[in-house]
Structure 1
Amino acid sequence: MTFQDLELIEPLQKAIKLKGYTHPTPIQEQAIPILLNKHDLLGCAQTGTGKTAAFALPILQQVFLNKQQHNKYRKIKALVLTPTRELAIQISENFTEYGKFTGLKNSVIFGGVKQGAQTQELKRGVDILIATPGRLLDLMGQGFISLKDIEYFVLDEADHMLDMGFIHDIKKIVKKLPVDRQSLFFSATMPPEIIDLSKEIVGNPKRITIKPEQATAEKVEQAVFFVEKANKTKLLLHLLESNEPQSTLVFSRTKHGADKIVKFLAKSSIKAEAIHGNKSQGARQRALGNFKNSDTFVLVATDIAARGIDVDDLALVVNYDLPNIPETYVHRIGRTGRAKASGIALSFCATDERPFLRDIQKLINQTIEVVDHPFKEDGATNPTEKPVHTAHKPSKNARKKTARRKNDSFKRFPKNN
């Protein structure tokens, strides 16, 4: 199937062609016809699957056609609710690119910055609004935003909304929406609390489940380095210095840890920047902009702040700290496996992180290759493999061949082949 088969209007086809898109991803292929037929949708899908285009294109088409018919003053007809400002900005940029030939106007609002520029844009009229919950409720309370004309509502990244404590804000917002609307609900996972929330938002939806765990893991080349915590910074520096500069996204479990990594690299003349919840919006956007423009080759991020990072041709993802939730690992490595692209993901695993690695390998149904390195933890083996016992000591030549093979394997992963 191609985008030409999806019955999208000419202004959207023109924008898609300009973007270089020819074939839809699985979620786009399934979701777009459902949404153009005005059904509600419950989707289990994560970022990196092409989800934004899957809902943005149908919304743009329907708002455009309705506006052509009625030609009224701009009122907010579509609302996209998302957990973080980075993701909100990314979604807004996508709406702008896909809708550039429609004449429709979208706006993005989020907290952490002064509201003046956002309220001025709202006063000028907006067709599609992308928002984080807190700032949306704030501006609704001040009378800058009314949701009474909403015809299309998207709740994106629902599981992360709940993780960030937005459940009550979401329910307040949903109560203000018209009953007669098209609702779209997306979540990477579907635990019971998410299913309960979805029932409050969508009535009798069509369902789509995209399973990126296997697909993403298969197209991203992965390796694990067993290393004690004290040697992680040395190993990271070794990886970065062993290769030509390339875009590298490093995941830290904590904000303090992210800042610490940046300071360590700076001492070795490697420019890196961090993004996390303690950084101002301006600082986060500058850091992300520098990374996208290749002014900075290393970006260190926490999981929440990394939502919305969408960098073309990202060379490498490094899990400096392994996540304790297996699905988070898939989200992370998906940064370098966007849509149908491939990538490389390297993980550092300390002794106390072994259970996390076991859970990850169970989820993705793969045994991640262990790579030798100068800072290797003594006696490290893959926790999913049984130890191999040999009846005799290898010859000197055999040991040399093994050493060369391991060294070649180590060099192979950091390269962006």
Structure 2
Amino acid sequence: MQLKKINPNLQKALVENGLEDAFELIADTFSTVKSGSDCVIASPGATGKTTLLVINAIQKLQKPEGESTRAVIIVESKEKVLEMVELFRKYGQYTGLRVIGAHDKGDIDYDKNQISLGIDVLVGTPTKINAMFASAGFNLTTVRFFAIDDADVLFKNRQDAVILRLAESIVKTQFVFTCSEITERVEIIADKIMTEPLFFETDDSYEDDDSDDEEE
């Protein structure tokens, strides 16, 4: 995968997993996301959006550091949580980043204990992440990368209030939304929590990415 100034450990894992060439979506947005800009990225299903978030989170964090969570990625369901954690396992294998997934069917006490031991990336459903941080009083001020996959779907399912509440607890971070389309609700939430967000919209001309999510 030919991406400018990519972390060598990330590059090595991408090549070993068959991603020598960048998906067009990732190639078009990698530098902008890497720069730290707040972004909303819209593209059809199976074009690399989930992979994009994983790659950029790994690029931003680089290696384990401290005990507090530095990246939070919110996804729609248990299946999405498991999918993304597996992508982190593959593409972050040479970075040592500590990643856990939390979903509505998991044990909240176990998940909270894992966070207290020290992690770098938390992937989870909105209600589970909100419950974990609300009940345990975990610190969100260390979060440097806050992303939402399938933002249009989550906001349509009325999860925007939870996400706004979480975002308000973060002092300074980079926000990235991915979605199939930039709906009015996506724009409203982006304007509320992002700083001068950049909007990217693509079309159906991108090739499919079988490892990516299958949005509605």
* TM-score, normalised via structure 2 length: 0.89
Structure-2 separation of matches of 1:199 and 1:210: 20
Checking the alignment, whether the CA contact within 8 Å between 1:44 and 1:188 is kept in structure 2 is: yes
- Aligned match for 1:171, one of 161, 164, 170: 164
Q: Which runs of 5+ in 1 are unaligned?
A: 220-306, 310-330, 333-417
- For the pair shown, the structure with the greater C-alpha radius of gyration is 1
Give the letter aligned to residue 133 of structure 1: P
Tell me, yes or no, if structure 1 residue 143 matches structure 2 residue 141: no
Per the alignment, residue 178 of structure 2 pairs with 186
Per the alignment, residue 354 of structure 1 pairs with none
Q: Answer 1 or 2: higher relative contact order, Cα 8 Å, separation at least 6.
A: 2
Checking the alignment, whether the CA contact within 8 Å between 1:30 and 1:208 is kept in structure 2 is: no
Q: Secondary structure at the match of 2:69?
A: coil
Per the alignment, residue 150 of structure 2 pairs with 157
Decide whether aligned partners of structure 1 residues 87 and 204 sit closer, same or farther in structure 2, where only a CA change above 3 A counts. Answer: same
CA offsets 1:266-316 (integer angstroms, 9 cap, x no match): xxxxxxxxxxxxxxxxxxxxxxxxxxxxxxxxxxxxxxxxx956xxxxxxx
- Aligned match for 2:13, one of 15, 22, 32: 15
Per the alignment, residue 29 of structure 1 pairs with 27
Q: Secondary structure at the match of 2:90?
A: helix
Structure-1 separation of matches of 2:27 and 2:5: 11
CA offsets 1:307-333 (integer angstroms, 9 cap, x no match): 956xxxxxxxxxxxxxxxxxxxxx46x
Structure-2 separation of matches of 1:165 and 1:21: 35
Structure-2 separation of matches of 1:4 and 1:157: 26
Within 5 A, what are the aligned runs for 1:77-156? 77-143=70-136, 145-156=138-149
Q: Secondary structure at the match of 1:79?
A: strand
- How far off its partner does 1:131 sit? 1.3
Tell me, yes or no, if structure 1 residue 208 matches structure 2 residue 206: no
Per the alignment, residue 60 of structure 1 pairs with 58
Q: Secondary structure at the match of 1:4?
A: coil
- How far off its partner does 1:103 sit? 0.8
Checking the alignment, whether the CA contact within 8 Å between 1:78 and 1:129 is kept in structure 2 is: yes
- How far off its partner does 1:54 sit? 1.7
Structure-1 separation of matches of 2:3 and 2:127: 39
CA offsets 1:200-225 (integer angstroms, 9 cap, x no match): 1222123221213x556xx8xxxxxx
CA offsets 1:112-159 (integer angstroms, 9 cap, x no match): 232233223222211011111111111112216321111111021111
Per the alignment, residue 2 of structure 2 pairs with 4
Q: State the aligned residue count.
A: 213
User: Sequence identity of aligned pairs in percent?
Assistant: 17
Within 5 A, what are the aligned runs for 1:257-406? 308=213, 331=215
Give the letter aligned to residue 195 of structure 1: E
Q: Which runs of 5+ in 2 are unaligned?
A: none
Structure-1 separation of matches of 2:157 and 2:91: 29
Question: How large is the RMSD of aligned CA atoms in angstroms?
Answer: 2.1
Within 5 A, what are the aligned runs for 1:29-48? 29-48=27-46
Q: Secondary structure at the match of 2:85?
A: helix
Q: Secondary structure at the match of 2:2?
A: helix
Structure-1 separation of matches of 2:114 and 2:24: 35
Q: Secondary structure at the match of 2:6?
A: coil
